[in-house]
Amino acid sequence: MKAVVTVMLKQGVLDPQGAAVQSALGSMGFDGVSGVRQGKVIELELADGTSEAQVNEMCEKLLANTVIESYRVEMSAVGESA
Amino acid sequence: MKAVVTVMLKQGVLDPQGAAVQSALGSMGFDGVSGVRQGKVIELELADGTSEAQVNEMCEKLLANTVIESYRVEMSAVGESA
């Protein structure tokens, strides 16, 4: 089975990568981009039967810095299209 | 409106970050993690009426290195929950 973990900086935490992307898009002529936030996505291939609670534990302990980042877990069975 | 761009390394491209995460999870006692791929997610706040084609152009020109990365764009109207 598969889990997709999305980790984003919490609201209010300065996101210099996002600000850099926003500035670059503006200077390339893409108007109307009023905000950019950049995060990371981690796709995990897991043994069948792995629970969402275990994936949450992975996030708390390793994948996300919960002081400044929030995370979201989506589980999917094998066979579903990615 | 909002667009969420997910950028992942293409299949077959070495992913050292993912390998490091997989190794760390194993050494922390999380068994059954058979693969990890790490990518990035970029949330864009856009002016109403921005087309998906424009977001694709942003990806091609700035957000993704299309030699080694693939990207996926999801558009959503304002008012939908994130």
Domain CATH number, residue A71: 3.30.1280.10
CA distance B27 to A25: 40
A-chain residue closest to B54, CA distance: A30
Q: Quick check: is A65 in a domain?
A: yes
CA distance B61 to A2: 31
Q: Quick check: is B81 in a domain?
A: no
Query: In this prediction, what percent of chain A has a pLDDT beyond 90?
Result: 90
- Say yes or no for a CB contact (<8 Å) between A25 and B54: no
Cβ atoms of residues B68 and B13 within 8 Å: yes
- Say yes or no for a CB contact (<8 Å) between A62 and B24: yes
pLDDT at A77: 83
Q: Quick check: is B50 in a domain?
A: yes
CA distance B20 to chain A (A): 11
Segment holding B44, helix H or strand E: strand B33-46
CA distance A78 to B33: 14
Q: Quick check: is A69 in a domain?
A: yes
Q: Quick check: is A82 in a domain?
A: no
Residue with the two structure tokens 């850099």: A20
- Say yes or no for a CB contact (<8 Å) between A37 and B43: yes
Residue with the two structure tokens 């893409």: A30
The DSSP secondary structure of A14-64, one letter per residue, reads: --HHHHHHHHHHHHTT---EEEEEEEEEEEEEE-TT--HHHHHHHIIIII-
ipTM of predicted assembly, 2 dp: 0.87
- Say yes or no for a CB contact (<8 Å) between A41 and B39: yes
Q: Quick check: is A81 in a domain?
A: no
Predicted confidence (pLDDT) per residue in A21-34, tens digit: 999 999 999 999 99
pLDDT at B77: 83
Q: Which domain holds residue A17?
A: 2-76
Amino acid at B73: V
- Say yes or no for a CB contact (<8 Å) between B25 and A50: no
The whole-chain average pLDDT of chain A stands at 93
pLDDT of chain A, 82 residues: tens digit per residue: 999 999 999 999 999 999 999 999 999 999 999 999 999 999 999 999 999 999 999 999 999 999 999 999 999 986 554 4
Q: Quick check: is A27 in a domain?
A: yes
In 3-state terms, what secondary structure has residue B52?
A: helix
CA distance A31 to chain B (A): 8
**Domain tally for chain A?**
1
B-chain residue closest to A62, CA distance: B25
pLDDT of chain B, 82 residues: tens digit per residue: 999 999 999 999 999 999 999 999 999 999 999 999 999 999 999 999 999 999 999 999 999 999 999 999 999 986 554 4
- Say yes or no for a CB contact (<8 Å) between A36 and B21: no
| Helix ranges restricted to H, chain B | 16-27, 52-58
Q: Quick check: is B38 in a domain?
A: yes
CA distance B39 to chain A (A): 5
CA distance A67 to chain B (A): 19
CA distance B48 to B31: 46
